[in-house]
Amino acid sequence: MPTPAKTSTDEIVAAGRGLLEREGLDALTLKAVAEIVGVRAPSLYKRIGGRGDLVRRIVNVVSDELAAQLAAAPASADARDSLRGMVLAARAFALAHPHAYGLLFAPLPEDWGIDPDVNARISGIVIGAAGRVAGEDDALTAARLVVAWIHGFVTMELAGAFRLGGDVDGSFDYGIDALLRGIAQPG
């Protein structure tokens, strides 16, 4: 009779995600994750293919969580209001999960990165929302601009780089308004 499993792949990924959130990517080691789930590090190889595989699985989970938050943002008949809701949801996610959010943009080896189907899912949400504002011909370009602006703002915010005082939330709202005006279709 085989020995019962002491952990599952889902538990390993959840433990890795929790460790990432608490201590960052450098602390995400198989030894540390094994200690959390109560097994020896070599036992993890029964479920995952190593640290890169664990990181890839976490990237996919984080991407799916962010995609769910973007998709759950309040929809509106006004495409700009819908995109604004997604931008606010992305910022809220980043501020609540800074290490997980950072992992989405970290320079990882290719085989550690997001699975193509997961990437297509989250990209489709953003491209679709941006296209409803900018027009289908400019959807990808507008989506790239929106993501770059959000990422730049949030990265500075998380780093404490807004040191001149003032209302950071107000600045974010101002930026969203300017961005939406900039990508909106004429007419």
For residue 1, the 8-state DSSP code is -
Report in angstroms the alpha-carbon separations of 87 from 44, 58, 61, 81: 37, 22, 20, 10
Per-residue model confidence as pLDDT tens digits over 107-156:
999 889 899 999 999 999 999 999 999 999 999 999 999 999 999 999 99
User: Taking CA 169 as the corner, what is the angle to CA 165 and CA 173, rounded to the nearest 5 degrees?
Assistant: 125
The per-residue pLDDT of the chain, averaged, comes to 93
CB 127 within 8 A of CB 148: no
What's the confidence (pLDDT) of residue 3? Answer: 40
Q: Domains, the chain, ranges and CATH? A: 1-48 (1.10.10.60), 59-183 (1.10.357.10)
What's the confidence (pLDDT) of residue 75? Answer: 87
> With 50 as the cut, is the pLDDT of residue 2 above it?
no
pTM for the whole structure? 0.91
> With 50 as the cut, is the pLDDT of residue 1 above it?
no
CB 9 within 8 A of CB 48: yes
What's the confidence (pLDDT) of residue 7? Answer: 86
What's the confidence (pLDDT) of residue 61? Answer: 97
48-53 mean pLDDT: 94
Per-residue model confidence as pLDDT tens digits over 154-181:
999 999 999 998 999 999 999 999 999 9
Q: How far apart are CA 18 and CA 54, in angstroms?
A: 12
Q: How far apart are CA 119 and CA 80, in angstroms?
A: 23
* 187 pLDDT tier (thresholds 50, 70, 90): low
